[in-house]
Amino acid sequence: MIRVAAVADIHLGEGMQGAWADDVTGLDSDLLLLAGDLTRHGTRAEARVVAGEFAHAPVPVVAVLGNHDLHGDDVEGVTAELISAGITVLEGTGAVFDVSGARLGVAGTIGFGGGFPPATASGFGEPEMKAFDARNRSLAHGLCTALSSLDCDVAVALTHYAPIPGTLAGEPPQIHAFLGSHLLGRAIDDCDREDVPVALAVHGHAHAGAPDGRTPGGVPVHNVAQPLLDGAFRTFVLGR
């Protein structure tokens, strides 16, 4: 059995050193997933705080960025700080870890908005709408490609934006199009993984959403935004 801990939306800022250190060093899992919004404003200084909190984790740490982490327009700097602490940062890419005698693969992307049927964004109209739709499709395609490329015994999808509407229940319906996209769910269901299907998908972003749901294809999806959790992390047990 493989124990995967996950959390999102921790929103660390300068001066918050030590806020997570005890929880991280006492972690009882095989892997830790960080589903984005690790910082408040996406500055390198804030990312340095995050790096310090998770640098001494007793297990591998895998992250995707969130919209807050992109706000400062310094993706390279934020990513560099996280990598310096040994954190694996994914964007349309995957990584495989040997844990508990099995190969655990994680594919990740921040994802994007776009909504869910029957109300979804399209690429028609103004350049801004075309760019919105193009980003949505590009990141979902990157997730599908990364999942398909994983050579592993157990596969996990890691995003910041939601891949299904079910885990957005509790958020105002008017903003669902900005909290996730059905294309992420389709990528999880349709990636070429017949031999080793995706066992788990986790995301954040929806602070007032619901904790559990499934893709149309039946993959379990869990919203691990920190405001929804009873403790520091939520832990999932996966079979080989």
- Structural domains in the chain? 2-238 (3.60.21.10)
Does residue 177 register a pLDDT over 70?
yes
* pTM given for the model: 0.97
pLDDT in tens, 33-48: 999 999 999 999 999 9
Nearest to 185 by CA among 149, 136, 239, 130: 136
pLDDT in tens, 192-232: 998 899 999 999 999 999 999 999 999 999 999 999 999 99
pLDDT band for 240, please (50, 70, 90 cuts).
low
Does residue 239 register a pLDDT over 70?
yes
Measure the CA–CA gap between 198 and 187, rounded to whole angstroms: 11
Nearest to 211 by CA among 190, 191, 236, 186: 236
pLDDT in tens, 88-120: 999 999 999 999 899 999 999 999 999 999 989
